[in-house]
Amino acid sequence: MQTLLSVMNSNKPAEKLNLACDLTDRYQRIREYFPKVAGAELSTEWRGGRVEAMRRLATVNGDNYGKTRNFLEGDVTRLSPYLRHGCITLKEAFESVRARFGKRAEKLLFEFAWRDYWHQVWYLKGDAILSDMEPAKVALGRGALPEDIKNAQTGLPCMDGFINDLLDTGYVHNHARMWFAAYAVHWRKVDWRAAADWYYAHLLDGDKASNSLSWQWVACTFGSKPYFFNKENLAKYSNESYCKSCTAKCPFDNTYEVLSEELFDSTNTPPAKTYKIAPLAKVETMQGVNTIVLVHDEMLSPAHPLLRRMDKKIFVFDPALHGDWALHRLQFVADCLIEMEDVEVWFGDTRQVLNQLGAGQVITQATPNPTIHVLLGAYKVDYLAEEPLTDIKLTSSDLRRFSKYWQKMGPAILNP
């Protein structure tokens, strides 16, 4: 897949972009700005920005969510791309749901809390989340991602359907993500990191923490046991939409006991694997005198408090951050940015852009993303702390497992 990184590698200089207000023109300009980036167009059902995020938040049904969330056609929120990019904050979502549904929405608040948990683990562990957090509890495969998976040609209607959802829209129901991850890691013996990186590149809501750590939870390098499923489970929660007409030999059609025997060897478990992370290319930075507000991809809201400042405000499509994103996600981000009228949009290396603008001080929202910290390492940076869900201070022990996190945070979240 051609990526934004390959565009940058063509020595295209940093430049200021002009995003059109008209949606059709805007998407066309993104295609023109990034002609080598592959992927489907952004679906009409996924327009980015705070306006759409607030509309969706207002329609969330906290009563139905807990009863139907595991079904592919269940009443889920579909807020994940908007939370991921900061169109609305997680605290806003919590407060809105609590105000309307109270404890009836406990299951939804519980699931929202997973997003905060992954984020807190990223703050604590940094790039370590991209390697095995723990030794696997069963033997794992370390194979490359096969072409039949990349092209949705596995011959299994369910898996090919989930892959096509990912490639066409960038959105996949959480239960389908778990089924697919288990299939790739446990049935096909694909290296979890190879699969997770490919998946992240296509997701509309791609978040390195939730994506990487969720794949590790499935693989059991960040959990006590591997996650897997059987045909009965998939058929039930997909309303047999794939199974009814399937003529393939089903690899999932057995009891959990038999599948466990077939899939897992707990007598030959490997040590935790560390994956190499390529360092950023060096760029000479120049200390200027100007204060710049850097808007990054976790704070794409016109309501963000840093946008009230009088300083110049910029967003940079930087290959170091967005180099593997598909076209539909770049278009989603463009939707978000068009609502942020005072923010200049650039393409290039963030450090080169800051050099051109004479930056001496940078102000931005705090982030667990180590790449942003490296990009800003030569500047004086003020990080505005994210608004916490509660005043509770978490320790590394609290973040060892979500159950420990929830034991400490749950009461305060449910009874603020």
Half-sphere exposure of 281 (CA within 13 A, CB side): 13
Number of H helices, E strands in the chain: 19, 6
Integer Cα distance of 320 and 297 in angstroms: 12
Q: Check residue 320 and give its pLDDT.
A: 94
Statement: residue 4 has pLDDT above 80: no
Kindly report which listed range (154-168, 228-242, 271-285, 371-385) carries the lowest average pLDDT score: 271-285
Task: Report pLDDT digits (tens) over 154-203.
Answer: 999 999 999 999 999 999 999 999 999 999 999 999 999 999 999 999 99
Confidence of residue 24 (pLDDT cuts 50, 70, 90): very high
Strands (E), 48-182: none
Q: Where are the alpha helices (DSSP H) in 203-270?
A: 208-219, 231-237, 256-263
User: 281 vs 162, which has greater pLDDT?
Assistant: 162
Q: What is the pTM of this model?
A: 0.95
Q: What topology is assigned to 44-129+390-414 in CATH? A: 1.25.40
Structure tokens belonging to residue 17: 């972009």
Q: Check residue 281 and give its pLDDT.
A: 85
Task: Report pLDDT digits (tens) over 327-367.
Answer: 999 999 999 999 999 999 999 999 999 999 999 999 999 99
Q: Does domain 279-384 have CATH number 3.40.50.620?
A: yes
Domain boundaries, the chain: 44-129+390-414, 132-263, 279-384
Strand partners, 375: none
**What mean pLDDT is reported for the chain?**
95
* Pair 321, 352: CB distance under 8 Å: no
Q: What topology is assigned to 132-263 in CATH? A: DNA Cyclobutane Dipyrimidine Photolyase, subunit A; domain 3 (1.10.579)
Q: Check residue 285 and give its pLDDT.
A: 81
Statement: residue 7 has pLDDT above 80: no
Which residues belong to the annotated binding site? Answer: 65, 77-80, 205-207
Which residues belong to the annotated binding site for FAD? Answer: 65, 77-80, 205-207
Confidence of residue 377 (pLDDT cuts 50, 70, 90): very high
Structure tokens belonging to residue 412: 């305060």
| Mean pLDDT (whole number) for 11-18 | 82
DSSP state of 293: E
Residue with tokens 């979500």: 402
Residue with tokens 């022990």: 397
* Pair 394, 375: CB distance under 8 Å: no
Count of other CB atoms within 10 angstroms of residue 142: 12
